[in-house]
């Protein structure tokens, strides 16, 4: 499998002492798929020797060197392995470790994954980045490539324009158009709209509310959690502090919001006035004037629902998934501005190479301060990836075994496994109401049929007035 340029050739395989132990029957150019030290799947294409009745292929060290790799043999397994060479330098994070097994104690070997080029393309191409970037459309991912760092491997790869992703069908369903602005601000931070929304489920951080800030010019978004609505003044001050570096490039001019009581509090008005920012409010009963913030909330939660549907994580992870959706929106191409919101706001490309699929399995390294003492204690713990920690470079993880959160930069990922995802994307809500992955509805809706553009013409949403939750059911044509 995955062989090319196969030729018959007898090559004697000798030991270090010069003794011949076996002979090859064929030589070929073969591609192997191996996970690097971070857990990401990567190809190795090199000359391979085929020996009859030999369980494993033999890789030539000299051939690997010619293919652009360096081999390091060391008693420390962290230093030993096959290293890719770029611009004359090796990258340890993208190296392939040798596996340890007493059965092959006299050999160094790599653990490969059996797959075809097509399977690898689905695992590492647009399908993978569709999950990593919050279920952004493949077209937008393609347009993002020149505006971000870390997507070079997608250059030249093809994609399907209309991927039937069930998680997108569940999370991105809309019934009506959103209000649109007639005019946009001409510069970043010239006008920032803000609005808040609430959840019937308390997040794992303890939040029941969230505030979204949306830049009128770029569409850049920020999202912050709140335990109670009165915390909004704390959120406003924190946001203003967090954008200190951006305010060095662009001046914050107008803060616009609707007429909700918390938005017109004396503390908020006084704060914005004290820093030279104009307070501006939408007209009473005309909420569409603050439509940018409403649209930003809808956009973020659309991705949040898709992310939760994909990962299988329940309602208490709504805020983490909202932050992940916000990061994805800011980092992907926006046709109106011709680049990504991040690039205009920060003046540079964003490196998205560290993005991973939300909710996937991970193994977090436990340093000496985090693990029990002893030579035989575990060096890593299984975790669930939950995006990035705010204001740091660290990843955020959920540890199911301890029901706690953890942040770390030292982790390996398996983006093909989502431990919380069930066989059916949407379970019967009676089994666990806390895992409701759809939004709460305030209206007394009975049945709402989806339109024909969706994955199934027979997908419906049912509103249960007793529990006040929405339940999705996918029916066959026969029992609809």
DSSP state letters, 308-359: HHHH---GGGHHHHHHHHHHHHHHS-BTTTTB-HHHHHHSS-EE-TT---TT
Q: How confident is the model at residue 138 (pLDDT cuts 50, 70, 90)?
A: confident
Helix (H) or strand (E) holding 191: strand 191-198
Over 60: is that where the pLDDT of 470 sits?
no
Q: Which of 241, 214, 210 is nearest to 227 (CA)?
A: 210
Cβ atoms of 342 and 350 within 8 Å: the answer is yes
For the chain, the structural domain boundaries read: 3-113, 168-173+185-351, 360-424
Q: If you ran DSSP here, which 8-state letter would residue 428 be given?
A: -
Instruction: Return the higher-pLDDT residue of 263 and 117.
Output: 263
Q: Which of 395, 127, 177 is nearest to 298 (CA)?
A: 177
Residue 473 has a pLDDT of: 40
Instruction: Return the higher-pLDDT residue of 61 and 176.
Output: 61
Residues 6+ apart with CB under 8 A from 97: 37, 77, 78, 80, 81
Residue 428 has a pLDDT of: 37
Residue 321 has a pLDDT of: 94
Over 70: is that where the pLDDT of 424 sits?
no
What is the percent of the chain with per-residue pLDDT over 70, rounded to a whole number? Answer: 78
Q: How confident is the model at residue 429 (pLDDT cuts 50, 70, 90)?
A: very low
Residues 7, 111: Cα–Cα separation, whole Å: 25
Residues 410, 380: Cα–Cα separation, whole Å: 10
Q: How confident is the model at residue 435 (pLDDT cuts 50, 70, 90)?
A: very low
Over 60: is that where the pLDDT of 6 sits?
yes
Q: If you ran DSSP here, which 8-state letter would residue 99 be given?
A: B
Over 80: is that where the pLDDT of 45 sits?
yes
Mean of the per-residue pLDDT values for the chain?
A: 78
Residues 343, 218: Cα–Cα separation, whole Å: 9
Q: How confident is the model at residue 388 (pLDDT cuts 50, 70, 90)?
A: very high
Strand pairing report for 3-8 and 350-351: unpaired
> CATH classification of 168-173+185-351, choosing from 3.30.420.10, 3.30.465.10, 3.90.230.10, 1.10.287.3510?
3.30.420.10
Residues 480, 475: Cα–Cα separation, whole Å: 6
Q: If you ran DSSP here, which 8-state letter would residue 264 be given?
A: G
Strand pairing report for 404-408 and 395-399: antiparallel
Q: How confident is the model at residue 101 (pLDDT cuts 50, 70, 90)?
A: low
Residue 239 has a pLDDT of: 97
Q: How confident is the model at residue 178 (pLDDT cuts 50, 70, 90)?
A: very low
* Maximum mean pLDDT: which of 91-105, 164-178, 233-247, 402-416: 233-247
Residue 451 has a pLDDT of: 37
Instruction: Return the higher-pLDDT residue of 15 and 53.
Output: 53
Residue 26 has a pLDDT of: 82
Residue 226 has a pLDDT of: 95
Q: Which of 424, 427, 353 is nearest to 393 (CA)?
A: 353
Instruction: Return the higher-pLDDT residue of 83 and 431.
Output: 83
Q: How confident is the model at residue 269 (pLDDT cuts 50, 70, 90)?
A: very high
Instruction: Return the higher-pLDDT residue of 343 and 474.
Output: 343
**Tens of pLDDT along 275-287?**
999 999 887 666 6
Beta bridge partners of 464: 469
Residues 305, 471: Cα–Cα separation, whole Å: 13
Residues 256, 274: Cα–Cα separation, whole Å: 16
Over 70: is that where the pLDDT of 48 sits?
yes
């Amino acid at each position: 499998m995955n062989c090319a340029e196969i030729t018959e050739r007898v090559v004697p395989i000798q030991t270090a002492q010069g003794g011949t132990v076996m002979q090859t029957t064929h030589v070929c150019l073969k591609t192997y798929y191996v996970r690097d030290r971070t857990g990401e799947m990567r190809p190795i294409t090199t000359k391979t020797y085929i020996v009859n009745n030999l369980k494993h292929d033999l890789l030539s060290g000299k051939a690997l060197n010619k293919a652009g790799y360096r081999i390091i043999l060391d008693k420390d397994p962290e230093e030993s392995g096959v290293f890719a060479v770029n611009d004359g330098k090796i990258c340890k994070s993208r190296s392939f470790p040798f596996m340890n097994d007493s059965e092959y104690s006299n050999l160094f070997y790599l653990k490969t994954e059996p797959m075809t080029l097509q399977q690898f393309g689905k695992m590492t191409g647009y399908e993978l980045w569709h999950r990593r970037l919050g279920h952004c459309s493949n077209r937008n991912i393609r347009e993002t490539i020149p505006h971000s760092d870390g997507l070079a491997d997608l250059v030249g790869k093809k994609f399907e324009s209309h991927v039937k992703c069930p998680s997108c069908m569940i999370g991105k369903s809309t019934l009506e158009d959103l209000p649109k602005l007639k005019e946009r601000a001409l510069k970043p931070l010239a006008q920032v709209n803000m609005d808040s929304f609430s959840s019937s489920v308390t997040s794992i951080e303890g939040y029941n509310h969230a505030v979204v800030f949306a830049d009128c010019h770029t569409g850049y978004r920020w999202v912050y959690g709140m335990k109670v609505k009165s915390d909004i003044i704390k959120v406003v001050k924190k946001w203003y502090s967090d954008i200190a570096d951006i305010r060095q490039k662009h001046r914050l001019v107008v803060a616009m919001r609707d007429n909700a009581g918390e938005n017109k509090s004396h503390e908020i008005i006084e704060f914005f006035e004290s820093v030279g920012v104009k307070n501006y409010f939408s007209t009473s009963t005309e909420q569409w004037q603050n439509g940018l913030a409403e649209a930003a909330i809808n956009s973020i939660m659309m991705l949040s629902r898709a992310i939760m549907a994909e990962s299988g994580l329940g309602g208490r992870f709504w805020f983490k998934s909202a932050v992940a959706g916000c990061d994805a929106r800011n980092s992907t191409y926006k046709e109106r501005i011709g680049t990504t919101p991040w690039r205009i706001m920060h003046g540079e490309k964003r490196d998205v190479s560290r993005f991973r699929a939300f909710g996937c399995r991970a193994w977090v390294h436990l340093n000496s301060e985090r693990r029990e003492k002893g030579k035989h204690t575990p060096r890593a713990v299984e975790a669930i990836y939950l995006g990035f920690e705010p204001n740091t470079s660290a990843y955020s993880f959920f540890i199911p075994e301890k029901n706690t959160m953890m942040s770390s930069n030292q982790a390996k990922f398996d983006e093909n496994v989502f431990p919380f995802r069930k066989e059916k994307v949407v379970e019967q809500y009676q089994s666990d109401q806390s895992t409701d992955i759809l939004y709460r509805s305030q209206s007394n809706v009975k049945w709402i049929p989806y339109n024909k553009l969706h994955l199934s013409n027979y997908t419906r949403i049912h509103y249960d007035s007793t529990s006040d939750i929405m339940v999705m059911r996918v029916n066959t044509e026969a029992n609809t």
